[in-house]
Amino acid sequence: MGAKRQKLVLIGNGMAGVNTLEHILKLSPEQYDITVFGSEPHPNYNRIMLSYVLEGSKTMDDIILNSWFWYEEHRITLHTGTTITAIDTQQKIVTADNGLTAAYDRLIMATGSNPIILPVPGHQKQGVVGFRDIADCSVMLEAAKQYRNAAVIGGGLLGLEAAKGLLNLGMNVTVIHLMADLMERQLDPSASAMLKAELERQGLHFLMEKQTAEIYGGERVEGLTFSDGTKLESDFIVMAAGIRPNTALASASGIEVKRGIVVDDYMQTSADGVYAVGECAEHRGVCYGLVAPLFEQGAVLAKQLCGVQTKPYEGTQLSTKLKISGVDVFSTGVFLDQPELTVIRKQDDWKQQYKKLLLKDDTIVGGVLYGDVSDSSRIQQWVREGTAMTEAIYAELMGAGGTVLSAADRVAQMADDEIVCGCNGVSKGSIIKAIKDNSLTSVDEVKACTGAGRSCGGCVPTVSHLLQYVLGDEYAGQKTKTGICGCTDLSRDEIVAAIKEKHLTTVKEVMHVLQWHNPEGCSKCRPAVNYYLGMLWPQEHEDEKDSRFVNERMNANIQKDGTYTVVPRMYGGVTTPEDLKKIADVAVKYDVKMVKVTGGQRLDLIGVAKEDLPLVWEELDMPSGYAYAKALRTVKTCVGQQFCRFGTQDSIGMGIRLEKTFERIDMPAKFKMAVNGCPRNCAESCTKDIGIVGNDGGWEMFVGGNGGIKPRIAELLCKVKTDEELVQMVGAFTQYYRLTANYLERTSEWVERIGIEAIKAEVVDNMDRRRELYQDILAVLAELKEPWSTALEEQRESSYLFDAIQMK
């Protein structure tokens, strides 16, 4: 046996903390048992992209950096929606708001920062919000549906992003700023004036040098009063006046705090074994709010925790390269004119471009760019290295004497160690090596392989130029991604065809033979490939548990507090007194937090501890309800002709038959059925993947319904007269869906993509094809392990879970 793993706890599930974990997992993946606590109900997401969610160009799924699967894949215990309220630095235990505790050997605090809410009278009224997380975005999106006039307090980056997002949502937006210039901490007055003029052209209004004195109104805000006595009517206010390190927990726990949590050059706090990283940390008197320094801190901390020799963190040369409301801006080093500095400046109002270099004793010490930021990497390098100004640099940057470097020439002149992606610390040399070694041909592939462009996206143009530089005429620009994920260019159909042609039988074999750019795959492609292999080779392919989602591996649904929900099978929603007693006994014995009737006519046992899962299943001795699986979840039934005076068919009997026939088989996505004994639709067949309605002449079969995020009414596929015909039709339809759908594509999306007439032609009209599909699915079902009367067998396959039974 190897050395016992140490316990590492991370407080804060944001970008800085999770980026540190990524480094740790690369350096020493077996060293720590990792537990993460996050106050938000989401996995790690890209906070920089919140403005895109607000404006509607991206969804929450688009900005997720580390999916739920990623945490499970790396054996990380994640508690979302859970806030740590106390740290016992002597006993080394953290306690959460829900009473959960966790011991640690090493603790990382990455508690981030809070938006500054100005303590002016009226700041607690309804309609006043900050702009810091996805919940704030949701509030703003709802407000835009109901109200017209919005005010944003703060003309910095965050305020301008919020303002533009609200403008795009149709609101009349006014930005209120205390200073004379927008983004005065990053831009000089000239660049700031150009930015303000462009944003005014786009439709924003500005009140500069205004100090908010009061927010007036009744329960809800109606407007603002300023210190000069003027007023602005507004029914929604966003405060974006800055951020403050979140130090309350550290302070309450006796850890040294000034403006932030005080750390040394290796991110160690005043408490033994406790470290801090990100916006909450104060290093050498400085708290950072930009992404690049937070990731630099994380890289140093990860090496420190893994025992890898590293240079100390000595602070970060700040630079800002951002796209604000469609306008690119950049600054680094000294950006304001000073008497002792020499200033080189070029302003082009026609092309809306501005360039400025600042020199001290002929050494480049700062720069500002507006509009065209293609020279940002070079300027940052010059400032970092203290480069002396030369005629050649002047000619290149200012275009003197007709010398204007092409983008390819610019990247050719970059040093290999020059940082391209400041957010993730990716150099030109690293990107070029990845392109050559992995035959990368698109920005998305470079992003997946190296991380460059993964955060703010400001380096994407340079990455594109590097691809052009390496590939030459073979580079066709930033291609639209057609692959199932960034690890491969291959589509679902191409992968399935290659698996058939080359007779590939394992996930690793597929990724190796088909030349995945990321040889380990990711949380999107690994489960998909595992499904395709099982679908094509049911007799040969051995299911790869490591490529399953966390819920499927655990045979239970993980909850935000880290416990699990167990759902036993109840065929057709029917149970017995004996089974009810088993459920009650188990719920009492294992301190189940709640027993809930589900929408699928079953009972949830909510709040089962991870280590109790094998024992719970063993004592239930009931089939799993597969509430976690990409498989048949439920067959909902009404009471039908057995009991209902309107019933014309035995809906309960048919529901149980279908559920027992098609349970256990893998599907592209979760799959639900319903059977009604008459057209009154009490079992809600119209919103199921397959909905069956009985009538005097037989059965009607509807397909492609969905009652979830994208509701869809099912479409009529066919009418059949006998029970046997119905079962065959259900089997044929299900198999056709299994063979042709994309992984995670619900039947509602699949029916729209394929078309109901095309499905009818394949499943209903062509009787030979229907029989073939039905025989195929029966063959797959015959290969499934029997009796599978309980879920215990699956649990035992996970040895680390089965150990719990042995120990008990």
User: Are residues 333 and 259 part of one domain?
Assistant: no
User: Are residues 33 and 156 part of one domain?
Assistant: no
> What sign for the dihedral angle of Cα 71, 75, 80, 83?
negative
Instruction: Give the three-state DSSP class for 227.
Output: coil
pLDDT digits (tens, 9 = 90+) for 8-23: 999 999 999 999 999 9
The rounded percent of the chain whose pLDDT value lies above 90 is: 49
Average pLDDT over residues 308-319: 86
Count CA atoms closer than 13 A to 397's CA, side-chain side: 26
487 vs 693: CA distance, rounded Å: 44
pLDDT digits (tens, 9 = 90+) for 541-597: 888 877 787 778 778 887 766 788 888 988 888 888 999 999 999 999 999 888 988
Q: State the CB neighbour count (10 A cutoff) for residue 798.
A: 15
Check pLDDT > 50 for residue 801.
Answer: no
List CB contacts of 113: < 8 A, sequence separation 6 or more.
132, 243, 244, 245, 246, 279, 280, 289
Average pLDDT over residues 422-448: 81
Helix (H) or strand (E) segment spanning residue 432: helix 428-438
Asked if residue 787 has a cis previous peptide bond (ω within 30° of 0), the answer is: yes
Domain boundary among 508, 528, 548: 548
User: Are residues 324 and 291 part of one domain?
Assistant: no
Q: How many residues does the chain have?
A: 808
- pLDDT classification of 407: cutoffs 50, 70, 90: low
The rounded percent of the chain whose pLDDT value lies above 70 is: 92
Give the pLDDT of residue 323. 62
pLDDT digits (tens, 9 = 90+) for 102-126: 999 999 999 999 988 899 999 999 9
Check pLDDT > 60 for residue 639.
Answer: yes
486, part of any domain: no
Domain boundary among 548, 568, 588: 548
242 vs 113: CA distance, rounded Å: 10
User: Are residues 230 and 86 part of one domain?
Assistant: no
pLDDT digits (tens, 9 = 90+) for 705-738: 998 767 899 999 999 999 999 999 999 999 999 9
Q: What is the CA radius of gyration of the chain?
A: 30
List CB contacts of 497: < 8 A, sequence separation 6 or more.
none
Domain that holds residue 439: 419-474
CA distances in angstroms from 636 to 265, 599, 632, 655, listed in the order given: 60, 9, 11, 7
808 vs 796: CA distance, rounded Å: 14
311, part of any domain: no
User: Are residues 641 and 613 part of one domain?
Assistant: no
List CB contacts of 153: < 8 A, sequence separation 6 or more.
118, 159, 176, 212, 237, 238, 239, 240, 241
From start to end of 584-653, where are the E strands? 594-597, 603-608, 632-637
User: Are residues 258 and 109 part of one domain?
Assistant: yes
- pLDDT classification of 455: cutoffs 50, 70, 90: low
Residue 454 C-alpha from the chain's centroid: 12
| Annotated binding-site members for [4Fe-4S] cluster | 638, 644, 678, 682
Q: State the CB neighbour count (10 A cutoff) for residue 631.
A: 18
Number of continuous H segments (helices) and E segments (strands) in the chain: 28, 36
532 vs 521: CA distance, rounded Å: 15
Count CA atoms closer than 13 A to 587's CA, side-chain side: 18
Check pLDDT > 90 for residue 680.
Answer: no
DSSP conformation class of 545: G
DSSP conformation class of 633: E
Q: Give the CATH number, domain containing residue 190.
A: 3.50.50.60
Inter-residue contact 308 to 332 (CB < 8 Å): no
What tokens appear for 5 in the block? 């793993």
312 vs 303: CA distance, rounded Å: 10
What tokens appear for 791 in the block? 């879920």
412, part of any domain: no
Q: Give the CATH number, domain containing residue 432.
A: 1.10.10.1100
> Which residues sit opposite 427 in a β-bridge?
419
User: Are residues 452 and 331 part of one domain?
Assistant: no
Inter-residue contact 519 to 497 (CB < 8 Å): no
- pLDDT classification of 635: cutoffs 50, 70, 90: very high
Helix (H) or strand (E) segment spanning residue 345: strand 342-348
| 628 closest CA partner among 678, 540, 569, 683 | 569
User: Are residues 769 and 643 part of one domain?
Assistant: yes
Check pLDDT > 50 for residue 213.
Answer: yes
Count: domains in the chain = 7
746, part of any domain: yes
| 625 closest CA partner among 671, 581, 592 | 671
804, part of any domain: no
User: Are residues 81 and 19 part of one domain?
Assistant: yes
748 vs 688: CA distance, rounded Å: 9
- pLDDT classification of 405: cutoffs 50, 70, 90: low
pLDDT digits (tens, 9 = 90+) for 480-535: 446 788 788 888 889 999 999 899 999 999 998 998 887 778 878 888 999 999 99
> What sign for the dihedral angle of Cα 422, 427, 432, 437?
negative
More confident residue, 157 or 559: 157
Strands 236-239 and 128-130: parallel
Give the pLDDT of residue 69. 82
User: Are residues 512 and 368 part of one domain?
Assistant: no
131 vs 144: CA distance, rounded Å: 14
Inter-residue contact 601 to 570 (CB < 8 Å): yes
487, part of any domain: no
pLDDT digits (tens, 9 = 90+) for 370-381: 988 878 878 888
More confident residue, 728 or 392: 728
399 vs 377: CA distance, rounded Å: 17
* Average pLDDT of the residues of the chain: 86
Count CA atoms closer than 13 A to 401's CA, side-chain side: 7
User: Are residues 614 and 633 part of one domain?
Assistant: no
Give the pLDDT of residue 427. 80
Domain boundary among 351, 381, 404: 404
| 525 closest CA partner among 555, 553, 558, 492 | 492
Inter-residue contact 136 to 47 (CB < 8 Å): no
411, part of any domain: no
List CB contacts of 664: < 8 A, sequence separation 6 or more.
626, 631, 632, 781, 784, 788
Give the pLDDT of residue 161. 87
Check pLDDT > 50 for residue 627.
Answer: yes
- pLDDT classification of 448: cutoffs 50, 70, 90: confident
Q: Give the CATH number, domain containing residue 352.
A: 3.30.390.30
Start-end of H helices in 169-290? 189-202, 248-252
Q: Give the CATH number, domain containing residue 672.
A: 3.30.413.10
Instruction: Give the three-state DSSP class for 120.
Output: coil
Give the pLDDT of residue 477. 58
Least confident of 84-88, 344-348, 452-456, 773-777: 452-456
Instruction: Give the three-state DSSP class for 131.
Output: coil
| Annotated binding-site members for siroheme | 682
> Which residues sit opposite 592 in a β-bridge?
none
| Annotated binding-site members | 638, 644, 678, 682
Give the pLDDT of residue 404. 52
Average pLDDT over residues 157-168: 88
796, part of any domain: no
Q: Which residue has the tokens 């291609």?
A: 479
User: Are residues 644 and 735 part of one domain?
Assistant: yes
Give the pLDDT of residue 751. 94
